[in-house]
Each structure stands twice: as C-alpha cells, then as structure tokens.
Structure 1
Amino acid sequence: MLSNLSIVLFGTKYPENIGSSARAMTNMGCSNLALVNPASWDMEKAMPLATVKGRDVVEKAVMADNLSEALKGHAKVYGTTARTGGWRKGVLTPASAAPLIIEQLRAGEKVAVVFGPEDRGLTNDETQLCSRLINIPTSSDNSSLNLSQAVLIILYECFRNSLDKPYTPAGPPDERSTSFEEQEILAANLQETLLEIDFLKADNSDYWMMPVRRFLSRFDLKRNEFNLLMGICRQIKWIAGKADKN
C-alpha cells in the first residue's frame, strides 16, 4: 500500500540520519527515498545505520538539486513542521494525516512527505510547496525529534491505516483455549498432586477439591498454560516421591 509514498529528505545535515531513516522506512514497507541537497552526503556513513534491510533504499534513492524537482509527479505533498501558529494553521497530526494519505494512495495518487534539515526544518518558502503540514506532538520539555524518529512515527500511522483490518500480533500456535476434556485432566492431576503433598484431605477429597475447581474456572486457560501446570504437577509429585523414599 505504501509503494506510491515517497519520503523526501531536504537538506539533511548528517548522512547517518539518512541511513537510519531508510531503516525506519523498511520497517513500515516504504521504499521510495528522495534526497535533496544533503549537506554532506557520504554513503559509507549512511550504510551502517541503514542496516542490511535499508541498504537497497539508500542505494536507489533519487538525488535532486531542489525540492521542486524532487516533488515532480506527486499529486499530494505533506510537509513536516515543528512550528505551529501564525499562518501555519490547520496543521495535521500524524494520526489525522495518515487516513488522508492512505485514501489518496488507494486512489492511485503519488504522495510525498517532506522533512527539512535537522537544525531548522522547512522554511516558509519551502512549506508553500506542500499541500498540508504535519506536526508531531511532543512534550514541551523536549520537542526535538531525531529525523528517523519523525519518519518512523508518520510512516507507522500510514502503515497502520493501510491495513485491511486492525493489526493483532500472532500468538503462539498452542495459545488456544483448553477443552473441557483437558480441563478435567488438569483438575484430576492437581487433585492427585495436592493429595500427594497432604494439601487435600484424603477423606472426601472431591469435596475439598471444589474450591480449587472454582478457582480454575475463573480463568480462560490456554493450552500452553495447561502444559505449564501439568509440568508443575509432575515435578511436585516427583519431589514428593523422593521425600517418601527418604
């Protein structure tokens, strides 16, 4: 979905920041990078921060002499700004900008997000080339973000909004709920174990086991938790057996 989205780094001072931004791009499935007049471009300094995954993004980056050249072919351009107020009104947050960006990408449009130099950001003249502006809210105590952090935050919101359904991390394959049969096996094993260590009274142990059963029924035990408790029971019975022999 982010194949038509371009990250444009304008006047970036440090090649290391370009490398780390490329890495952030690959985390979110974005591979189009344009560099406009980087202050001191050095690919050898950028590559270690790009890591293996981001090397291709850096190597294929488009080099442009000016911002207008880098933005050719893009239907929508979003500029980033740390400053708000004045004429910079209607500034979007990453969360409010992302749905607009994704809607435009789904319509087949090419979209660019522009990041200015680390020390000053985009000037008023440069932001005039942008359709909308994005500001990342931060604590007033420290509003400065590393370039790659800013890239990652905006791309994360775009990536999240591009998903067909909300992202849910895949759990372990054995994280299904236990069946009735497994719950009964566990209860019987626990009862044997608690009898082994004299926690339950041997006389009418089913009755004394009822509070334990009620306790277990309060939880949606997963298969991996079932295995854990069964293993604990085995270990306790083994230790109890050794104690009896001594």
Structure 2
Amino acid sequence: MLTHVSVVLCRPKFSENIGSVARACVNMGCSSLVLVSPRSFDLKKAAPLATSKGKVLIEQAQVHDSLETALKDFHRVYATTARVGKWRKGILNPWEAAQSIMDVEKSTPSCALVFGPEDKGLTNEEVELCSHIISIPTSKEAWSLNLAQAVLIVLYECFKLIPASDCRQIKPGDSRLITRQESMILNQNIREALLTIDFLDQDNPDYFMMPLKRLLSKKDLRHHEFNLLMGICRQIKWMAHKNNQGPQ
C-alpha cells in the first residue's frame, strides 16, 4: 500500500479536518500522519470524523513544532498549493506526481505530501522547503478545496497505481460470455414469448425478429444475463398460458 507515503498537515486549523484527513489516509492505505503546529487540536472533535481506524492513526501521529524539522528525514517532499504562477514553476498534477511517488523501480524513497492550513495554505517559505509542487485542477469559478478533499485526491492518484490484487475487490468476476448455441436458444425463446403475447406478426415472425437480434448482438451477453432473459421469457409464456386457460 502507501507505506512509504506520509501526509504532513502544516498548521491545520480545525480538529474536525484532521479527523477527516485521517479517515482519507486509512481509506487509501496511508499509515503515516504528521502534524506541524496544529492549532487548538482536540482529539474528541477529530475522532468522530476519523472513524476508529483513523483515530488510531491520529493517536500515532508525529507532532512537530516546525515544518523544517518534520521534513528532515524524507527523500522527496511534495508541497500542495492552489496558488500558482510567478516563481511557482514545474507544477505537477496529482496524477503526474503519483507516477514519481509510486516509482517502485527506484527503491521507493520515503515521500511527504505537505498540505497547508485551511485558511491560507502554505507560505512561500514553506513551499521552498519542498522539492516538488502539486496543484489540483478545479473549476475556474471555485478552486479552493477542503483539506481532506485535497488529501484524498492526491492519495487516490497514488492508490490507483497499486496492483489491483492488493486492493479491496469491489465487483465479483463477470460470468462467462454466452456461446453461439446459447445465443440461438435465447433468440428462439424470445421469439416464442413474443408470439404468445402477439407482439410479433404471426405470418412472418422471423422478419420482425431481425431488429431485436441485431440489438442483442451489439452487446456480448454474459451467462447471468442469458439466465435473466430466459427467465423473463418463461414468465411471459407462463402468464400467457394462464390467461388463455381462463378462470377455473
């Protein structure tokens, strides 16, 4: 996971935001949080937003009085800022920075992601302590991000480069594609079902089935989808037969 990455919050203003950042960290597999001169930090305010795993991360966080001290042992340091222009050149998008941060071919150096306080961001002097600058693209009309949102975006770009086998599996594997024989069986059952409800012209049903066959052929059907459509056909034929029998 992101074991070589540390999130550094420089002079964070709100305890609640620290809690939300901690939650974002554990969600993305980042196990290191560093706080630099947090203002009026209150664990009771941060914990509800951190959740149980995030609360542990906060309790284990390093706390420093200066950013320079906090960064002294890292190999690469990335400042995040919304303010660009003038001397702030060579700015990376989060996905560009992630390529460097997750470059495991180069011995995976320890990396610090530095985020400034919510109200003013990092000062010029603090940015100068960092080797790289990251800025998150946003709408021109609203470019100020919540602290936890910014942390999550940068970490997620790194997380996307982790092998899928190391991440939580969200969706089960797809069922197999249906065979040509199964496709023909499905078409035949759809034809029979539509005939029972007089949807197809009884005199020439195959002609009117052609558009439907073309529609179904646009997608590679999976076996679970085949079973679903077959079930619908069976239900249509059963209901048609029941209605034809009339009341007993």
TM-score, normalised to structure 2, is: 0.88
Task: Provide the rounded CA distance (Å) in 1 between the counterparts of 2:243 and 2:164.
Answer: 58
Q: Which runs of 5+ in 1 are unaligned?
A: none
Whether contact under 8 Å (1:2, 1:105) holds in the other structure is no
Task: Provide the rounded CA distance (Å) in 2 between the counterparts of 1:215 and 1:32.
Answer: 52
Amino acid aligned to 1:148 = A
Query: Which residue does 1:33 correspond to in 2?
Result: 33
> Shift of the alpha carbon at 1:22?
0.9
Q: Specify the SS of the correspondent of 1:3.
A: coil
Task: Provide the rounded CA distance (Å) in 1 between the counterparts of 2:170 and 2:181.
Answer: 26
Query: Which residue does 1:242 correspond to in 2?
Result: 242
Whether contact under 8 Å (1:177, 1:223) holds in the other structure is yes
> Shift of the alpha carbon at 1:96?
1.6
Amino acid aligned to 2:72 = K
Query: Which residue does 1:70 correspond to in 2?
Result: 70
Query: Which residue does 1:11 correspond to in 2?
Result: 11
Query: Which residue does 1:82 correspond to in 2?
Result: 82
> Shift of the alpha carbon at 1:188?
2.6
Query: Which residue does 2:232 correspond to in 1?
Result: 232
Task: Provide the rounded CA distance (Å) in 1 between the counterparts of 2:209 and 2:87.
Answer: 72
Bigger shift: residues 205-214 or 233-242: 205-214
Whether contact under 8 Å (1:105, 1:111) holds in the other structure is no
Bigger shift: residues 191-200 or 224-233: 191-200
Whether contact under 8 Å (1:78, 1:133) holds in the other structure is yes
* Structure 1 pair 215–39 and aligned structure 2 pair: CA distance change class (3 A): closer
* Structure 1 pair 31–48 and aligned structure 2 pair: CA distance change class (3 A): same
Whether contact under 8 Å (1:4, 1:105) holds in the other structure is no
Task: Provide the rounded CA distance (Å) in 2 between the counterparts of 1:105 and 1:4.
Answer: 14
Query: Which residue does 2:97 correspond to in 1?
Result: 97
* Structure 1 pair 58–95 and aligned structure 2 pair: CA distance change class (3 A): same
Q: 1:138 aligned to 2:135?
A: no
Residues 92-113 of structure 1: per-residue CA shift (max 9 Å, x gap): 2212211112227852311101
Bigger shift: residues 100-109 or 68-77: 100-109
Whether contact under 8 Å (1:76, 1:112) holds in the other structure is yes
Task: Provide the rounded CA distance (Å) in 1 between the counterparts of 2:104 and 2:213.
Answer: 56
> Shift of the alpha carbon at 1:209?
4.8
Amino acid aligned to 1:88 = R
Bigger shift: residues 225-234 or 42-51: 225-234
Whether contact under 8 Å (1:6, 1:112) holds in the other structure is yes
- For the aligned residue pairs, the C-alpha RMSD in angstroms reads 2.4
Task: Provide the rounded CA distance (Å) in 1 between the counterparts of 2:31 and 2:2.
Answer: 8
After superposing on structure 2, the runs of 4+ consecutive aligned residues of structure 1 that deviate more than 6 Å are none
Task: Provide the rounded CA distance (Å) in 2 between the counterparts of 1:137 and 1:213.
Answer: 45
Whether contact under 8 Å (2:81, 2:121) holds in the other structure is yes
Amino acid aligned to 1:225 = E
TM-score, normalised to structure 1, is: 0.88
> Shift of the alpha carbon at 1:200?
4.1
Whether contact under 8 Å (1:33, 1:58) holds in the other structure is yes
> Shift of the alpha carbon at 1:25?
1.1
> Shift of the alpha carbon at 1:81?
1.3
Residues 184-238 of structure 1: per-residue CA shift (max 9 Å, x gap): 3212322321232233456676676555444433331112221221121122112
Q: 1:152 aligned to 2:152?
A: yes
Query: Which residue does 1:124 correspond to in 2?
Result: 124
Task: Provide the rounded CA distance (Å) in 2 between the counterparts of 1:81 and 1:150.
Answer: 10
Bigger shift: residues 184-193 or 119-128: 184-193
